[in-house]
Amino acid sequence: MTTETVMDLDHKYAMTTYKRNPLEVVRAEGVRLYDPSGRDVIDFLAGVAVCAVGHSHPRYVAALTEQLQRVVHVSNLVYNAPSAKLAERLCTLAGMDRVFFTNSGAEANEAAIKLARKRGTSVAAGKTQIVSALASFHGRTIATVTAGGQPKYSEPFGPLPGGFVHVAFNDCDALSAAVNEHTAAIFLEPIQGEGGINVADDAYLAHARALADAHNALLIFDEVQTGVGRTGTLWGWENSGIKPDVMTLAKGLGGGFPIGACLASGDAARVFVPGDHGSTYAGNPMATTAALAVLDIIGSEGLLSNARIIGALLQERIAHLANEFPEWIGASRGRGLMLGVNVPNGQAREIVGAALSNGLLMNATSEHTLRMVPPLVLTESDVCDAIDRLKAALQQLSGTSISAVRGAVSSTIAVEPGFLAGRDLLGIDDFSAKECQQILALAKRVKSGEISNTATGKVGALLFEKPSLRTKVSFLGALAKLGASGMYLGKDEVGLGKRESVEDVGRVLTRMVDVLIVRTFDPEILKGLAASCSIPVINALDDAEHPCQAFADFLTMQEHLGDITGKTLTYIGDGNNVAASLMLLAPKLGVHFRIACPDGYLPDARIWARAMALAADHGTKMERFSVPTEAASGADAIYTDVWTSMGQEEEHARRMAAFAGYTVTAEIMHLAAPGAIALHCLPAHRGDEIADEVMEGPWSRVFAQAENRLHAQQAILAAVL
């Protein structure tokens, strides 16, 4: 059967729950997989952190072959020696009292949850809550998917079981606030695996231990991924010295044969009584023989220290790659052979694809994180081979993709005032990508004082139907700096479309002033004015867009991030007019755009579609998330705006409820790329869309951004006048 046939059959008959890589594996040995043509692929995925002792390890194969010939399965209604031996071995190695075997990680966690709840209820009625961390992953059963802190995995499957509380990972205060007398257990991964290789701080784990003790709750560590040597110690918790009451295992334990385990100590070990829990296959002789062989091999071949040494070497080699390919490879994190690598340009999936073409299998936990979890038998020469393959992939990608971000901003764009004389700016689409880049280049010259008084004697009228601080002052200031004068016409002075038709207002003003700057609600009013004026009309915010704001924002990004080509701007909150202009301008400047907003708050569908088309044209990405932490991960700038804009006041309560969880907090900023900046177009409601710690924190460029309204608008006026 050809690989093509295999893929066709799979696509036709298997439920499409996995995005598979285009690789058919027919044989594997050590750290190498082989396809039908005999091509070898270095396995940095290890069956998702499973094949701890590599593939086809002779001692593993021998142990299983022997057991296969004796007896495969017997049920839990009789005894079998491998199961009893493994129970003893695991309890001794972990310093725990008893174990319950399962077939998978999810089932091990399911057992832990049941155990914690039964124990909790025996302590006090209602002591059933499980407190777990955001971005965690505990499996795919209905309870474990609810315990996991990634709503995208649980939301489609409601109603979900109750009694699960999620807190920010590594946040001691959040944990303290969540744990109380109702808490049955605190449930954590020592290193979040699927969530992106996020290492728990030692102090955080110590805090969790103390809180669990203080509230007579259990501390459960999900060591499904971190356990069995992955982090360079047998159990992940040994790195911190904080021991849990309950520990769950799977993945590496069976080295490829399905087995999981839930270990417990103290009173937790005596919670289950006959009939409480069970599983047909669990602990069968094949699975437990596999686990005994894995533990034997880890011990006798020194794989724990190997994981530490080779892991450190791998991190060092990744650091070299980061110097060579800084857009593609950033810092690495993790322990032992459980590593995450930051991908600054957000193209982790592209790297995975190119690496596979070059003979290296990895996966990406997000656009910004590559995960490397190779077998623990990895050698120094395997690392060299793997890095060579990764480097070849990066060379290919950087040869194409860096320059493939079309419309990249050149630092030497030549532009003079008046280059857009007579043009309107109603929305970002009024200017081409090149013109947008030129506006920013002109703004820099304007700001440096190189350009001033280019519009001496001219007059600008500000026709404003909505209140304004920054826009009004910055336009009047910009006109003054250009040597022009400005007048402000408020809502009641003109009676636009009421006392006088839009068209007549346009026709009159066009004869008296040189530029019309309009703030209104309805984009049609703006269009009507533009149609009846021969002078430039500038949109100073309407319900559809806020283009001047967007120019100021990207100017701020350029100043604080350097070349913004290939950088990622994440907008968290209401997909309003500000978001619309940002998403239209981002592709034109070579910037990837992400938005995290609740359903129903995405920008206007036409603008979204237009932004998608622009992104396709310019080779940038447009992504939508419903989980702010995911959107923030690895981003270079995090942007937010008020949840209730002018004119939406009656929707305030509904909006506050819809945006709960969308606050830009320090936790969000920590998830962003190193050196990321926080932006807000103001006015800000601290504590709602943005936490005070961010407004006033090291990330904030909010006031520099406000100042740039002046410079960006001066450039726009200098261009059109």
Q: Give the footprint of ligand PLP on this chain (CB under 6 A).
A: 48, 104-106, 109, 137-139, 189, 193-194, 222, 224-225, 250
Indicate which residue of 436, 709, 711, 713 is catalytic: 709
Indicate which residue of 519, 560, 594, 711 is catalytic: 519
Query: What number of other Cβ atoms are within 10 A of residue 357's Cβ?
Result: 12
Smaller CB distance to ligand PLP: residue 629 or 700?
Answer: 629
Indicate which residue of 32, 681, 701, 713 is catalytic: 681
User: Which is nearest to 284 in space by CA: 50, 70, 113?
Assistant: 70
CA dist list (Å): 519 to 18, 263, 418, 471, 544: 49, 65, 23, 9, 11
Annotation marks residue 140 as catalytic:
no
Annotation marks residue 39 as catalytic:
no
Both tokens of residue 193? 């695996």
- Rounded to a whole number of angstroms, the minimum distance from the CB of residue 403 to ligand PLP is 37
Annotation marks residue 209 as catalytic:
no
Indicate which residue of 641, 688, 705, 714 is catalytic: 641
The DSSP line for 320-376 is HHHHH-TTT---EEEETTEEEEE-TTS-HHHHHHHHHHTTEE-EEEETTEEEE---T
Greatest pairwise CA separation for the chain in angstroms: 99
The gap from C-alpha 466 to its chain's centroid, in whole angstroms, comes to: 36
Contact 668, 629 (CB under 8 A): yes
Smaller CB distance to ligand PLP: residue 231 or 708?
Answer: 231
Smaller CB distance to ligand PLP: residue 259 or 428?
Answer: 259
**Counting beta carbons within 10 angstroms of the beta carbon of residue 95, is it exposed (0 to 12), middle (13 to 18) or buried (19 or more)?**
exposed
Both tokens of residue 340? 């995450």
Annotation marks residue 681 as catalytic:
yes
Contact 185, 217 (CB under 8 A): yes
Residue nearest to ligand PLP (CB): 105
204 secondary structure, DSSP code = H
Smaller CB distance to ligand PLP: residue 142 or 494?
Answer: 142
- Rounded to a whole number of angstroms, the minimum distance from the CB of residue 116 to ligand PLP is 15
Indicate which residue of 546, 560, 655, 701 is catalytic: 546
- Rounded to a whole number of angstroms, the minimum distance from the CB of residue 148 to ligand PLP is 8
Smaller CB distance to ligand PLP: residue 113 or 679?
Answer: 113
Distance CA 547, CA 439 (A): 12
Annotation marks residue 98 as catalytic:
no
Distance CA 28, CA 43 (A): 9
Smaller CB distance to ligand PLP: residue 189 or 553?
Answer: 189
**Counting beta carbons within 10 angstroms of the beta carbon of residue 164, is it exposed (0 to 12), middle (13 to 18) or buried (19 or more)?**
buried
Smaller CB distance to ligand PLP: residue 338 or 676?
Answer: 338
Residues 6+ positions from 536 with CB-CB distance below 8 Å: 422, 423, 424, 425, 514, 515, 516, 720, 721
Annotation marks residue 429 as catalytic:
no
- Rounded to a whole number of angstroms, the minimum distance from the CB of residue 195 to ligand PLP is 9
Catalytic residues: 519, 546, 549, 641, 681, 709
